[in-house]
Structure 1
Amino acid sequence: MLPEGDRRPGVGLRADGVPDIVWHAIPGGEVRLEIEAKGLWKRLCGRPSFRVEPFHIARYPVTVAQWRPFVAAPDGYDALVRQPLGWDPAPQRGHDNQPATLLTWIEAMAYCRWLSGLLGYPVRLPTEWEWQQAASGGEPANDYPWGDWQEGRANTYESRLGRLTAVGLHPAGQSAQGVLDLAGNVWEWCLNESEAPKKVAEGGDARRVVRGGSWIYVRDFARCAYRHHVHPGARFDDVGFRMWCDSPIF
């Protein structure tokens, strides 16, 4: 809220007006989801496991300042959402350095397509197993990005703030790779369906996974492995998103 704005890297825009995304490298590994497998798979293997290749993830969720150019660009929201679907974007109630919220999974996907064109390399939503790998820092034993629960490291219900905050205000809660806000503040959209995690294609009404908990929910919802789901066309004031990429061009 300083007069000159929040100048931290990864919060706002570059000098050319393109969203400034700071990427962190995440190691590969094996991720097990907290979902009950069925039939023969359950008897043989238990919870479904996914192999994760190394990737990069954004330091913060997309902020209000970074969402706004997408809404204003003729090739952004108007071309990718308003014209095909007849929707209008929900007003952003937060400050520029707070996560963009009140946006659907469909709108988040459209944002990723738009930004891919500006950056010159593809970005997308992470799958939930990629998100979990980033949140745990590649250490499956970590219940939270820093390990076991500790007060003051996340904006969950326990913080008693009772509201959304700017990104990155809990540096002690960062992951081993330096990624922030993976616990609390806002839920984050993931690419895949909830009931059929391997399905990542667009289309249909299947609920999509959100991860990370939010300022409204108690700490258990902010665990690295906790799964929640939301209809892809729903908007909530505690749901945002962050982005994945394979190998960013610096």
Structure 2
Amino acid sequence: MAYQFLKGLSAITCLVLLSACAVQPTPREAAALKEMPELVPIPAAIFFIGSTEPDRETAYRIDEQEYGSSVTRNQGWYEYELPAQKTRSQRFFITKTPITNYQYGAFIRDTNRESPDVDIVDWNSYGISHPFESTRKYAWDQNGYPTGRDEHPVVLVNYFDAQAYAQWLSVKTGKYWRLPTEEEWELAARGLDGRSYPWGNNFNPAKANTADLGPHDTMPVGSFPRGASPFGVLDMAGQVYEWTRTPGEKGRMTVKGGAWDDRGCGVCRAAARHHRRADMKHTLIGFRLVQEWR
């Protein structure tokens, strides 16, 4: 009887081992899977977007407490937000995290498009406070993205680069990929109830990559699972601003989400928005994509 038991156990073990081997992808398959952004389904919904005057006042007070001054109030950072309202969206998929250097690298190899970088003349033309030297650790070279940053969000990409990546991915997969609208982005970030942040109405620096706790740099995407939105989308507060397809003022495009060097964090609210030149390549701006549900 013991022999029969051991014989049966041995057969089961072999089957388990064979099954395990059968599901292990080859290195090439594993690389292809890593290149493909993970998607989260967002249902068709009626939901809240934008902010009220009390929402914006709260954001200014948060910033004043953190910065010790009224710099964001004086510059009217939150006066351009959409007014609080209900709107409707069809269902769609959105990438769970921002597009990574590794994922963008496949696009660069296939298309020979210019790698993420910015020259000092263009950088100075943006009129921003960050010194040009701060961009160098994010810039790609002939060998690709900076060492150790494969899972960090790609930055130093402008609106047109993001569009080109979406078009390439559409051809590659036979699905329609594009940048999200501001409304789609807000739905994915705050769910149906119009909350201020993906996790609720109060900012928590332990749930996002911001300057409140550091490391004052981009981080591997998905590093803050506790900061997930109601749909399970990650990195929608802090980390990097994200391009949307929604036009802003003076021919600029809308970016959302706040970034790793923000603190407070009024600008990390889902309703907050900045307008940036479509050709801007910044260390604080990346992107994620929508795949239409067809």
TM-score category (smaller protein): 0.7 to 0.9
2:67 alignment counterpart: none
Partner residue in 2 for 1:160: 214
Quick check: 1:231 aligned with 2:277? yes
How far the C-alpha of 1:177 sits from its partner, in A, is 1.2
Counterpart of 1:64? 101
SS of 1:152's equivalent? Answer: helix
Q: 1-side partners of 2:105 and 2:40: how far apart?
A: 23
Distance 1:15 1:160 in 2: 30
Aligned CA RMSD, in angstroms, stands at 2.3
In structure 2, distance between residues paired with 1:133 and 1:48: 12
Other structure's SS at 2:212 match: helix
Is 2:49–2:186's contact at 8 Å kept on the other side of the alignment? Answer: no
Check whether the contact 1:184–1:215 (CA below 8 A) recurs between aligned residues.
yes
Q: Which has more helix, going by share of residues? A: 2
Note if contact 2:170-2:176 (Cα within 8 Å) is conserved in structure 1: yes
Residue 157 (structure 1) shift:
1.6
Partner residue in 1 for 2:37: 21
Alignment map for 1:187-226 (pairs within 5 Å): 187-195=241-249, 206-218=251-263, 219-226=265-272
- Equivalent-residue separation in structure 1 for 2:275 and 2:105 (angstroms): 26
Distance 1:187 1:119, change over 3 A: same
Letter aligned with residue 170 of structure 2: S
How much has 1:139 moved relative to structure 2? 2.0
Instruction: Tell me by how many angstroms 1:224 deviates.
Output: 0.9
Partner amino acid for 1:64? N
Does the aligned pair in 1 maintain the 2:47–2:191 contact within 8 Å?
no
Taking structure 1 as the reference length, what is the TM-score of the superposition? 0.75
Q: Does 1:77 align with 2:131?
A: no
How far apart are residue 111 of structure 1 and its match?
Answer: 0.5
Does residue 107 (structure 1) correspond to residue 150 (structure 2)? The answer is no
Structure possessing the higher radius of gyration over alpha carbons = 2
Identify unmatched segments of 5+ residues in structure 2.
1-28, 54-82, 115-138
Question: How far off its partner does 1:190 sit?
Answer: 0.3
CA distance in 2, matches of 1:35, 1:230: 23
Secondary structure in structure 1 of the residue aligned to 2:243: strand
The reply to whether residue 145 of structure 1 matches residue 190 of structure 2 is no
Matched residues in 2 for 1:162 and 1:112: separation?
A: 29
Report 1:28-39 matches (<5 A).
28-34=45-51
Quick one: structure 1 residues 120 and 102, their matched pair in 2 at CA, closer, same or farther if it must change by over 3 Å?
same
The match for 1:5 is none
The normalised TM-score by structure 2 is 0.64
Report the Cα offset of residue 50 of structure 1.
3.8
Worse-superposed segment, 65-74 or 123-132: 65-74
Q: Is the 8 A contact 2:37 2:103 kept in 1?
A: no
* C-alpha separation in 2, matches of 1:175 and 1:17: 24
- SS across alignment from 1:70: helix
Equivalenced residue count is: 205
- From 122, 137, 146, the counterpart of 2:176: 122
Deviations 1:200-234 (A, max 9, x none): xxxxx711000000001121111011111110001
Structure 1, unpaired ranges of 5+: 1-12, 37-45, 79-89, 196-204
CA distance in 1, matches of 2:235, 2:94: 12
Given that 2:104 and 2:154 are in contact with CA atoms closer than 8 Å, whether structure 1 keeps it comes out as: yes
